[in-house]
Structure 1
Amino acid sequence: MATISGIDHKYIAIPMVAMSLGLSAYAAYRLHRSAHVVSESDSDVYESTKYLSEYLVFHYGTPEEVIPYPFGPKDAIDFPKRCAELCLKHMQPKEGIYTRALDIGCSVGRSTFELARVVNEVIGIDYSQSFIDAAKSLCLNGQMPYSLVQEGDIFSQAVAKVPKDIDRTRVTFEQGDACALRSSLGAFDLLLASNVLCRLHHPKHFLSRLQQLLPKPDSILVLIGPYVWLDQFTDKSLWLGGYIDANGEAVTGFKGLLKELGPHFELVEQMEMPFLIRETARQYQWTVSHATVWRRR
């Protein structure tokens, strides 16, 4: 872990992925509490108003709202939008063909909405009921007011807005567990799971379901994550990576993905994706996720 000097290390840390790699509980964009000391239980931490506010600005905040300074990691802004753009770069639907996409760990929905620019039907699923309630409100009304933490008990008012040129009728949201998705979801042409994998109680169980969700050849799978494995979310015996095996070899999250997905999916691209979580006007979390794009064999 690398830390930012001048900030209480109990409250912020910067997870860095092993350089050898070249470098999403259950919901997208949930790894950020991994270095925090919190009083809430892991299942409740994402239900609070404070964290809902953090994710609304993470998804919908303007550059000025996220970083109100002339300096800072500007390339880490708009992460959910960039996730969707990576998906759409590889998914090129043919004229007249109805397409479906699934956003697992959708949080408050920005990537889900962005996918609807091209995809006919997009379903966003998240473990957090409060996140799903917010996403549904945005889907219905196109915008949602919220309080933006400045310092302590000082807040400013902000409004999350879905871009007006997106057809929100193409999007639906539902609460669900990535490891126990309903059987009636059907088949998809594209699946995005961002910052989810290392927060699942059984990552391999989720990966095994992908063959059913993406049965058609050339379907696109996009997995994005920082591989921050913690036993508070996943029993160590079920970690996909982040451990030393019986032969003394380091098994990374990326190696785990190659092993699990290789027989059924072809790796077509991988890249670094930084993102920034704004906690207050002066406190942030900067993380680098490893993005992998796969095509169904």
Structure 2
Amino acid sequence: MIRAWRGQIFTYADPMNVYETEPLLAQYLMLHYGAPEEVLPYAFGPKNALDFPRRCVEDLVARHEVPSGARALDVGCSVGRTSFELARVCEEVIGIDFSASFINAANTLREKAQLDYTRPHEGAVTLRSVAAAPENVDRTRIAFETGDAMDLRPDLGTFDVVLACNLICRLPEPMRFLSRLKELVKPGGQLIITTPFSWMEEYTPRENWLGGCEGKSDSFLGLKHALQPDFELQLEHDMPMLIKEHARKYQWTVVQGSRWLRRNT
């Protein structure tokens, strides 16, 4: 299952997917589309952690290397902000997420440019908010669909840019996704991966972790081993991310971002 951008709530064995619920939908609409003063209205706080979805594309995609007429695939797109940002540099973007409610929200934003929602504020109190698609983006370039990162449909084709944000450590079998990437990324194309490597057995059996356990302590080294037969590392750096749960509670995470170039093999 695709579980990008996720906090520490849903387990792959849980029959109830909380990412189909309104509170979690609101949380990720705020992460993707919330204005800085709406997300963090205090005079203090980690303001450099705002706008994480936008920064995933802006900071990690090498725009000068994206060819004319490029195709992009956004795996684990959540409610769609990264797909909109990819559409600034790519002619065609496919955004895929396992959550039907997330994809419905993304499609509403693609079709109508905005979406009204209520978000948790304090206790049972909620506030009204409006998520708005970013300006100066050709939304007709984007298509959203539900899908499983470990079992993507075989007719997707190949892409100049593939993006997977905060996905791999929430998959039961991350290697099933990683092993498919050589078929999805064109030779010379870019693979963008962000992950906090927050491995948990509720999501991923320990034997499937890329690192963070006895015998394989370094998750990024495990990611390199998985990718380097087909990809060359171009860039790696840390990225702060802030998720607002309610008026006075946040998740602050240091995510590792990396860009990989598909080898011409």
Tell me, yes or no, whether TM beats 0.5.
yes
Residue 150 of structure 1, CA deviation: 1.1
Matching residue of 1:28: 4
Cα distance between partner residues in 2 of 1:123 and 1:91: 21
Displaced runs of 4 or more, over 6 A = none
Query: Are positions 1:202 and 2:173 aligned together?
Result: yes
- In structure 2, the CA distance between the partners of 1:120 and 1:184, relative to structure 1 (3 Å rule), is same
Residue aligning to 2:221: 255
Is the 8 Å Cα contact of residues 84 and 142 (structure 2) preserved in structure 1? yes
CA 200–64 in structure 1, closer or farther in 2 if over 3 Å, else same: same
Aligned residue number for residue 211 of structure 1 = 182
Instruction: Give the CA deviation at 1:43.
Output: 4.9
Q: C-alpha distance in 2, partners of 1:209/1:41?
A: 26
Secondary structure of the structure 2 residue equivalent to 1:294 = strand
Per-residue Cα deviation, 1:117-171 (whole angstroms, up to 9, x for no partner): 1100001000111101100111110000011211011111110001221100000
Cα offsets for 1:8-59 (capped at 9, x unmatched): xxxxxxxxxxxxxxxxx623201x125x9x9x93751111100000000000
The whole-number CA distance in structure 2 between the counterparts of 1:170 and 1:43 is: 33
Kept after mapping to 1: 8 A contact 2:76/2:167: yes
Map of 2:211 onto structure 1: 241
Q: Does 1:268 align with 2:234?
A: yes
> How do residues 183-198 of structure 1 correspond to structure 2 at under 5 angstroms?
183-198=154-169
Aligned partners of 2:46 and 2:241: how far apart in 1? 9
Question: Per the alignment, do residues 205 and 144 of structure 1 end up closer, same or farther by CA in structure 2, a change over 3 Å counting?
Answer: same
What does residue 18 of structure 2 align with? 45
Q: CA RMSD in A?
A: 1.7
Does the 8 Å CA contact 1:87/1:220 hold for their aligned counterparts? no
- Name the CA distance, whole Å, in 2 between partners of 1:159 and 1:42: 30
User: 2-side partners of 1:238 and 1:178: how far apart?
Assistant: 15
Match of 1:230 in 2: 200
| Letter of the structure 2 residue corresponding to residue 284 of structure 1 | Y
Return closer, same or farther for 1:225/1:43 CA change in 2, 3 Å cut-off: farther
Residue 78 of structure 2: aligned partner: 107
Partner of 1:10: none
Instruction: Report what 2:93 is aligned to.
Output: 122
Higher strand share: 2
- Report the TM-score, using the length of structure 1 for normalisation: 0.85
1:140 is matched with 111
> Sequence identity of aligned pairs in percent?
48
SS of equivalent to 1:86:
helix
**Runs of 5+ consecutive residues of structure 2 not aligned to the other structure:** none
User: What amino acid does structure 1 have at the position aligned with 2:41?
Assistant: P
Give the whole-Å Cα distance in 2 for the aligned partners of 1:42 and 1:189: 36
Among 41, 55, 67, the alignment partner of 1:68 is: 41
Q: What secondary structure is seen at the aligned counterpart in 2 of 1:51?
A: helix
**Residues 121 and 167 of structure 1, relative CA distance in 2, 3 Å threshold:** same
State the structure with more CA Rg: 1
CA contact (8 A) 1:87 1:192 kept: no
Q: Alignment length, in residue pairs?
A: 262
Q: Which TM-score applies when normalising by structure 2?
A: 0.95
Helix, strand or coil: the match of 2:25?
Answer: helix
CA contact (8 A) 2:61 2:259 kept: no
Alpha carbons 1:196, 1:225 under 8 Å: kept: yes
